[in-house]
Amino acid sequence: MKISYDKETEAVFGYFNEICSIPRGSGNMQKICDYCVEFAEKNGLDVIHDEAQNVVIYKPGTKGYENAEPVILQGHLDMVCQKEESLDFDFLKDPIEAYPDGDFIKAKGTTLGADNGIAVAMIMAVLASRDLPHPPIEAVFTTDEEIGMIGAKKLDASVLKGRKLINLDSEEANILTVSCAGGSDFYLNMPIEKKSASGTMVLLEIDGLKGGHSGTDIDKGRINAALLAGRLLYQLGKSAEFDIISLNGGSKANAIPFYCKAELLCDDSENLRKSIEDCFAGIKDEITAREKDCLIRPSVKESGNFEVFTKSSRDNLLYMLMTTPDGVTGMSAEIEGLVETSLNLGILSTGADSVTMQYALRSNKASALTFLEERMSVFASHNGCRFEISGQYAPWEFKKESRLQELYAEAFYEKYGHAPKIAAIHAGLECAVFAQKIKDSDCISIGPDMFDVHTVRERLSISSAKETFGLLCKILEKCG
């Protein structure tokens, strides 16, 4: 990955390149954690590696800052693993193929992992520096953030002395984030019955949708591939005879599905294929303005005997997909333009005797999140489904009196001549966890411009990353 470096950011992109070479999907943390520990030892820094695989690295303050209050720099080590459906790629062993394209760093056919690898790289650059002035640093690299902030929740906060915390997991450089949504994972399990049937399989693939982050992109009108499949199959049932063998879409609860596939069984494959195309034609006219690249691929496969849903199970599944809550359910009455409450059906998968539907629930108000969980519980129970709620984390509430906000605003104004935009976001940040763990904590979240995170189109602005790192260094200098 060849990028035009300057002295201040050469280390940042060097570390990011190394991080991209290490498999680090959520739940696969060992290698990236070992890398962080080796980095600390190589640089002669004290390090803690806990049972949850979190890594905390300590660096003393530079000359003149030795006795200053420590500052916590924090980012997460895991990434969301998404790939193009046709790509032969194993996230357990293959490195991310990152490459520069103009002002952006992109990845070949996969998510890039700049969320949150660029944060880890920036923090490492500070830790490895010899000439950047800063107070004592407590660098906290957490694990499994993308699947419920597991590492942050399990971290023993008594190992931290600092009260000022700079989280580097935001995705817009001109925004200072001061509040975020809380959330939870909702697992719905719908029992199904199957029967044996003979016929010809028709594979229906829905592809080319934008997808996106289930928090920051939930209000952008993007089509959920799993729900689109449900709609298409419901309409198809009015004009064609078919059974469902399987229906699968999405791979991450916190990503809007961009791909879904249905294995169907019928007696007249050519008629079914044509009926699929006719049904989709009307839908495509409706959604083209939002999803211009959406496409379907109906293809005739082998004939034989298959296990298919019974009619009642098929009807129940399509009913669930046609009626499930999804998307924005409430806007903030206090902050203009802020999504307050939402949910995303991120995973739809068919098993031997059940269909699993996994949702990411979010709200910037704890009471609204509780109500959404209750609403989904009623939805599941009424439809004879089992459910489980996990991964709960509270919202990070706005703190009016904040020294870190002041310091960042000063540094931003000195660089750009105007104040940064102060905002709350409808996404989860580990600040919410640390604000509860650390008494009297003062947290902010910053980060460079990133686009289409949690999708295969994820990209990081190189110039923005350089500027964000420069601002981080200015804030640290002001924390003396």
Q: Residue 78's closest CA among 42, 58, 52? A: 52
> What is the mean predicted confidence (pLDDT) over 61-80?
97
Q: What is the pLDDT of residues 76-106, one digit of tens each?
A: 999 999 999 899 999 999 999 999 999 999 9
Q: What is the reported pLDDT for 7?
A: 67
Residue 336 — pLDDT band, cuts 50, 70, 90? confident
Q: In which band, very low, low, confident or very high, does the pLDDT at 399 lie, cut at 50, 70 and 90? A: confident
Q: Would residue 397 show up in a list of annotated catalytic residues for this protein?
A: no
Tell whether the model's pLDDT for residue 8 goes beyond 90.
Answer: no
CATH number attached to the domain at 10-181+395-478:
3.40.630.10
Q: Which residues pair with 49 in a beta bridge?
A: 55
pLDDT score recorded for residue 480: 81
Residue among 114, 361, 115 at smallest CA distance from 215: 361
Q: What is the pLDDT of residues 253-287, one digit of tens each?
A: 999 999 999 999 999 999 999 999 999 998 999 99
Q: What is the pLDDT of residue 133?
A: 96
The CATH number, out of the four listed (3.30.930.10, 3.40.47.10, 3.30.70.360, 3.40.50.2300), of the domain defined by the range 185-393: 3.30.70.360
Q: Which of 239-248, 322-331, 399-408 has the weakest average pLDDT?
A: 399-408
Does residue 38 have a pLDDT over 80? yes
**Burial 410-423, CB ≥16 within 10 A → b, else e:** ebbeeeeeeebeeb
Alpha-carbon Rg of the chain, whole angstroms? 24
> Considering the chain, what is the average pLDDT of its residues?
95
Q: Name the catalytic one among 78, 185, 449, 467.
A: 78
Catalytic residue among 145, 172, 291, 373: 145
Confidence of residue 13 (pLDDT cuts 50, 70, 90): very high
Amino acid identity, residue 23? P
To the query of whether residue 88 is one of the catalytic residues in this protein, the response is no
Q: Read off φ and ψ for residue 394, nearest 5 degrees.
A: -80, 160
Using alpha carbons, select from 248, 244, 167, 108 the residue that is nearest to residue 427: 167
- pLDDT tens digits along 428-476: 899 999 999 999 999 999 999 999 999 999 999 999 999 999 999 999 9
pLDDT on residue 391: 86
Residues 138 and 71: their CA atoms lie apart, in Å, by 6
pLDDT of residue 5: 60
Is the pLDDT at 1 greater than 70? The verdict is no
Give tens-digit pLDDT for 184-225: 999 999 999 999 999 999 999 999 999 999 999 999 999 999
The answer to whether 480 and 137 are in contact (CB under 8 A) is no
CB 48 within 8 Å of CB 56: yes
Percent of all residues in the chain with a pLDDT value above 90, rounded to a whole number: 91
> From CA 96, how far away is CA 441, in angstroms rounded?
35
Looking at the chain, the whole-number percentage of residues with pLDDT higher than 70 is 98
What local confidence, expressed as pLDDT, does residue 394 receive? 86
Q: Where are the domains of the chain?
A: 10-181+395-478, 185-393
Average pLDDT over residues 293-311: 97
